[in-house]
Chain A
Amino acid sequence: MGTSTSKITPQDQAILDLKTQRDKLHQYQKRIQSLTTRETEIAKQLLAQNDKPRALLALRRKKYQQSLLAQTDSQLEQLEKLVSSVEFALIQKDIVFGLQQGTKVLKEIHKEMGGIENVEKLMGETADAIAYQQEVSELIGGRISTHDEEEVEAELEALAAEVTGTGKTKTPAEELPSVPNTGFPSRQQEPARQEEQQAKVAERREALLT
């Protein structure tokens, strides 16, 4: 002991005092309880000896002690309530302290961010910077503009029309891939051919859809 005496706060001391008081009441109750049982026995004995008045006296004493017991019970309750309120108040104190710390930290962080106007300004600047960046990359990378895009699509359409033949009157049955009638192609040729055919079909579909 001695090295860490500082760990005991005045509150701890107060709680200990309360609890000691409670313990003393406990002991008092025990004493009274043993007294009452003894009084009953005395009364029994006296009654056996036919000494009614003294038996009555013993019973009266017992009654009185029982009333004391009831009183101490309520006192005990008071004490226990007080102990638990003190303990609870200590916990509340801790919570308030914790909240305080948290708020402080939060405020500091906000301060570092520099207020709402600053954030708004920053967001505006960010949007500006992004727009500027887009412009720059369009300029440098020669990104295709919407106008160019439209032109490219028109050209694609024209090409598609050329490939499928100008008329779009073909029935769906004619659109199915034709059955190969050239015998088995050699192994190297096959995938190439298939790809070619698939590409063709896709192209036709696209042409129809547009």
Chain B
Amino acid sequence: MSSSPPPQPFKFPREHSFPPFFTPQTNLTTHHAQQTKWSSLVLSYCRHHRIFKLSLSDSLSQSDLFHNQQINRRLSPQHQRSIIDFLRKEGRAEYQKENGGDLVYIYWRTPEEWAGIIESWIEETAQKGQVLTVYELLEGENTRGSEFYGMDREVLIKALNVLVKRGKAQIFGQEDSLGVKFF
């Protein structure tokens, strides 16, 4: 994504340096606590780096999220999937394709939350009844500095569709030159 990486590195929580954190726990209560910790870690990590779409295999091998080199621990693919499933149950993640696959949207803000942010931005800048291009929302001069500047296009379109359902917006135009009209 075109967003510049934040200057300070992400501060991992204490558990991340705790070797058992990387092994699925057998005790049910502990397991649940572990899953909760992991999901909130994934969310805050993605929020910090503005990651909208996570490639499961890539993130497993490349990023420092699922792999702590200091303690030489790496999450197993199964465990990673189970965390993603845990997030999905909370509505905080979604596979790009229905049947799974490698790419997962991580909703540290759900499309509904994004829709609210966009709506209030439209309200603040008095752009009701205006036609805006999707590109303009993502990369335009006007949106520079707004929270959705440089966000993932597909997530943005999901958010816009939420607004469409509420009757607050209308998407039109061709696939490569989508426009939105706000009401």
Question: Is B179 a contact partner of A4 (Cβ separation < 8 A)?
Answer: no
Known: A1-B164, A20-B133, A23-B136. A8 touches B177 (CB 8 A): no
Distance of A58 Cα from B133 Cα, bound (Å): 36
Distance of A87 Cα from B132 Cα, bound (Å): 12
- A residues 1-30 touching B (CB-CB < 8 Å): 1, 4-5, 7-8, 12-13, 15-17, 19-20, 23, 26-27
A-B contact pairs, 29 of them (CB 8 A): A1-B171, A4-B167, A4-B170, A7-B170, A7-B181, A7-B183, A8-B170, A8-B172, A12-B172, A12-B181, A15-B131, A16-B133, A16-B172, A16-B173, A16-B177, A16-B179, A19-B131, A19-B133, A19-B136, A20-B135, A20-B173, A20-B177, A23-B133, A23-B136, A23-B177, A26-B135, A26-B139, A27-B135, A87-B130
Distance of A7 Cα from B167 Cα, bound (Å): 11
Besides A4-B167, A12-B172, 5 more A-B contacts (Cβ < 8 Å) are A4-B170, A7-B170, A8-B170, A20-B133, A23-B140
- B residues 126-183 touching A (CB-CB < 8 Å): 130-133, 135-136, 139-140, 164, 167, 170-173, 177, 179, 181, 183
- B residues 104-131 touching A (CB-CB < 8 Å): 130-131
Smallest Cβ distance from B55 to chain A, in angstroms? 25
Smallest Cβ distance from B68 to chain A, in angstroms? 36
Size bracket, chain A contacts? 10 to 19
Interface secondary structure of A, over-half rule: helix
**Chain B contact residue count (CB 8 A cutoff):** 18
Distance of A87 Cα from B128 Cα, bound (Å): 12
Report chain B residues within 8 Å CB of A8: 170, 172, 181
Question: Is A19 a contact partner of B179 (Cβ separation < 8 A)?
Answer: yes
Smallest Cβ distance from B34 to chain A, in angstroms? 42
Report chain A residues within 8 Å CB of B139: 23, 26
Distance of A19 Cα from B140 Cα, bound (Å): 11
The 3 closest A-B pairs by CB, nearest first: A16-B179, A20-B177, A23-B135
Q: Name the residue on B nearest A83 (C-beta).
A: B131
Q: Name the residue on B nearest A11 (C-beta).
A: B131
Smallest Cβ distance from A143 to chain B, in angstroms? 66
Report chain A residues within 8 Å CB of B135: 20, 23, 26-27
- A residues 25-62 touching B (CB-CB < 8 Å): 26-27
Report chain A residues within 8 Å CB of B171: 1
Contact with A along B40-61 (1 / 0, CB 8 A): 0000000000000000000000
Give the interface centre of B132, B133, B177, B183 by most chain A CB atoms within 10 Å.
Answer: B133
Distance of A4 Cα from B168 Cα, bound (Å): 11
Report chain B residues within 8 Å CB of A4: 167, 170
Report chain A residues within 8 Å CB of B167: 4
Distance of A176 Cα from B167 Cα, bound (Å): 89
Report chain A residues within 8 Å CB of B179: 12, 16, 19-20
Give the interface centre of B131, B140, B177, B181 by most chain A CB atoms within 10 Å.
Answer: B131
